Amino acid sequence: MVRRRRTSGILAWLLEALFFKKRSVKIGIYGPPNAGKTTLTNRIIHTFADEEEDVGTASEIPHETRRAVRRGGILIDLKQNLKQFQRTNFNSNPQPLSDPTRNGDPTRNGDPSTNPSTKSGRKGRAKLKLDVVDTPGLATKIDFHDFLAYGLREEEAKQRAKEATEGVIEAIKWLDDIDGVILLMDATQDPYTQTNVVIIGNMEARGIPVVIAANKIDLSSAAPQKIKKAFPQHFVIPISALTGENMPEFYAAMVRRFR
Amino acid sequence: MHKCLRCGKDFEKMNEGMFGGCPECGSKLFLYVREGEEEHATELVRRLEKKTETAGKLPLEGAALEGVEPLEEAGGGGELSSEGDKIESLKIVSPGVYELNLDTLLGRRGIIMRLKEDGSYAIHLPSLFEKKEKARRNRHTP
């Protein structure tokens, strides 16, 4: 049985090598509740796969997503999608669009010489085939009382708390099968939380590449520079998943980091 | 510079010996500190410690996720133990109130639920076996 598995592994590798078929990378979208994970996942799908398709419903009630949802077959082609960015990403706030495939990444914290595209000069390869996994929000405490304020009945709130707890465990299990992580943080909140620090520490220990998205920059209280300062060793891209602000830069960072 | 979040020891560079945790205290949480920002890092560590402390005293009544029953009706309360002493990945404070130890869960150590303050635990065996099964499969995969 072991031999058969080994043979099939070699065969798959040979087929892949012969036909240059590049596998999809699995990208998990992680973060605390209400950071905007489902909004971001929907936006990625609308931009690169299907404008009508949603993986989940975004809601102001925390822990709306309680099961991980995977959407496969997404191809990010930065050059092909330039026009699409303009059409879908700046509906509410039109801005001139720069070419996200050009060298140099002003959003990267730290030494710019570590930018892989600058180093290799492979600016033409601006494609990334990926599956995205929208995950339930990670939290250290889930209390049904928090849901009562949103009009849920006690039984509903308790059920939601139970499902949210199971969701956290499911989200963490997915990490074993993930090639890269988009860590979404709410730029209007303090980034120095136990959840953020623990996730980043664990990603570093596992060697999983991370892109941090500082979301909700459309809000006046957003302070993405605080997130940049808190995690200087990582890519931190300020975005608004809701309005589409700065999304081309975010997609460019994804391609560079996860390719 | 990398600073251990538990014992505060500074390390100039990450080395292989640190992959399993801090050589001094075993903690796996490090904070990256840029030159000249040591003061900022000390402040961050202090704030995180304060947040952990203010988690406070919590009552425990005993409840469970589906499929796991509490050992018996619980009562009383108690001070939360420090992160390092915790073996549980999940604590059921009362019906509908849960505390998760992300560090333990992310560390792939299997799911251990704390049901009572007097030392009653429920161990989710499938999560532990799953881990062994994965390790076994990895050994046999070329």
A28 or A195, which is more confident: A28
Q: What is the pLDDT of residue B52?
A: 54
Q: Where are the domains of chain A?
A: 21-258
**Residue B19 is nearest to which of A161, A168, A205, comparing CB atoms?**
A205
Q: What is the pLDDT of residue A191?
A: 95
Q: What is the pLDDT of residue B122?
A: 74
What tens digit of pLDDT does each residue of A227-247 get? 999 999 998 999 999 999 999
Of A217, A254, A212, A29, the residue nearest A137 (C-alpha): A29
Architecture of domain A21-258: 3-Layer(aba) Sandwich (3.40)
Let me know whether B131 and B92 are in one domain: yes
CA atoms within 13 A on the CB side of B141: 7
Write out the two tokens for B39.
Answer: 């003061």
Q: What is the pLDDT of residue B2?
A: 78
What is the rounded distance in angstroms from the CA atom of residue A148 to the CA atom of residue A152? 5
Chain A 6-45, CB below 8 Å of chain B: which residues?
Answer: 6, 9-10
> What sections of chain A are H helices per DSSP?
2-19, 37-48, 82-88, 116-120, 145-148, 154-174, 194-206, 224-230, 247-258
Residues of chain B with C-beta less than 8 angstroms from the C-beta of A143: 96-98
Residues of chain A with C-beta less than 8 angstroms from the C-beta of B141: 5-6, 9
- Measured in angstroms, the CA of B56 and the nearest CA of chain A are apart by 12
- A96 CB neighbour count, 10 Å cutoff: 6
Of A174, A171, A150, the residue nearest A160 (C-alpha): A150
What is the rounded distance in angstroms from the CA atom of residue A55 to the CA atom of residue A51? 12
Let me know whether B63 and B47 are in one domain: no
Let me know whether B25 and B75 are in one domain: no
Across the range A216-226, mean pLDDT stands at: 97
Range of the domain at B121: 58-140
In this model, does residue A161 exceed pLDDT 90?
A: yes
> A143 CB near a chain B CB, below 8 Å?
yes
Let me know whether B32 and B101 are in one domain: no
Let me know whether B84 and B128 are in one domain: yes
Let me know whether B49 and B63 are in one domain: no
What is the rounded distance in angstroms from the CA atom of residue A182 to the CA atom of residue A196? 12
- Angle A16-A17-A22 from CA coordinates, rounded to 5°: 50
Chain A 98-137, CB below 8 Å of chain B: which residues?
Answer: none
In this model, does residue A203 exceed pLDDT 70?
A: yes
What is the rounded distance in angstroms from the CA atom of residue A139 to the CA atom of residue A130? 26
Residues of chain A with C-beta less than 8 angstroms from the C-beta of B95: 144, 158
In chain B, which residue's Cα lies nearest the Cα of A6? Answer: B142
**Mean of per-residue pLDDT scores for chain A:** 82
Residue B122, helix vs strand vs coil: strand
Kindly give, in sequence order, each residue whose CB lies less than 8 Å from that of residue A24, ignoring residues fewer than 6 positions away: A72, A73, A129, A130, A131
Residues of chain A with C-beta less than 8 angstroms from the C-beta of B29: 197-198, 201
Of A227, A250, A241, A259, the residue nearest A91 (C-alpha): A241
**Mean of per-residue pLDDT scores for chain B:** 66
Let me know whether B117 and B86 are in one domain: yes
Share of chain A above pLDDT 70, in %: 75
What tens digit of pLDDT does each residue of A109-130 get? 533 333 434 333 444 457 899 9
The CA distances from residue A244 to A47, A93, A199, A235, in Å, are 10, 8, 25, 18
**Residue B102 is nearest to which of A138, A145, A233, comparing CB atoms?**
A138
The answer to whether A157 contacts B96, with C-beta atoms less than 8 Å apart, is yes
The answer to whether B48 contacts A197, with C-beta atoms less than 8 Å apart, is yes
Identity of residue A155: E
Let me know whether B12 and B49 are in one domain: yes
The CA distances from residue A90 to A35, A85, A244, A247, in Å, are 20, 8, 6, 9
Across the range A77-89, mean pLDDT stands at: 65
Residues of chain A with C-beta less than 8 angstroms from the C-beta of B102: 138, 140, 168, 172, 194-195, 198-199
Let me know whether B31 and B78 are in one domain: no
> Phi and psi of A71, rounded to 5°?
-125, 115
Of B74, B83, B82, the residue nearest B119 (C-alpha): B74
In chain B, which residue's Cα lies nearest the Cα of A177? Answer: B134
* Residue A140 pLDDT level (bands cut at 50, 70, 90): very high
Let me know whether B103 and B47 are in one domain: no
In this model, does residue A106 exceed pLDDT 50?
A: no
Write out the two tokens for A70.
Answer: 């995977």
What is the rounded distance in angstroms from the CA atom of residue A196 to the CA atom of residue A17? 38
Residues of chain A with C-beta less than 8 angstroms from the C-beta of B64: none
Q: What is the pLDDT of residue B6?
A: 73
In this model, does residue B3 exceed pLDDT 90?
A: no
What is the rounded distance in angstroms from the CA atom of residue A11 to the CA atom of residue A119? 33
**Residue A140 is nearest to which of B19, B30, B102, comparing CB atoms?**
B102
Identity of residue A163: E
> A158 CB near a chain B CB, below 8 Å?
yes
The residue to which tokens 């505060």 are assigned: B8
What tens digit of pLDDT does each residue of B51-77 get? 555 544 333 333 344 444 333 333 333
Highest averaged pLDDT of the listed ranges A55-69, A87-101, A175-189, B32-46: A175-189
Residue B32, helix vs strand vs coil: strand
Total of domains in chain B: 2
The answer to whether B96 contacts A162, with C-beta atoms less than 8 Å apart, is yes
Kindly give, in sequence order, each residue whose CB lies less than 8 Å from that of residue A106, ignoring residues fewer than 6 positions away: none
> A198 CB near a chain B CB, below 8 Å?
yes
Let me know whether B75 and B47 are in one domain: no
In chain B, which residue's Cα lies nearest the Cα of A170? Answer: B105
**Looking at A37-51, A101-115, B6-20, which range is the least confident one?**
A101-115
| Structural contact between residues B96 and A143, judged by C-beta atoms closer than 8 angstroms | yes
- DSSP string of A64-109? ---S-EEEEEEEEETTTTHHHHHHHS-SSS------TTSS--TTB-
ipTM passes above 0.90: no
Let me know whether B132 and B63 are in one domain: yes
In this model, does residue B7 exceed pLDDT 90?
A: no
Across the range A30-37, mean pLDDT stands at: 95
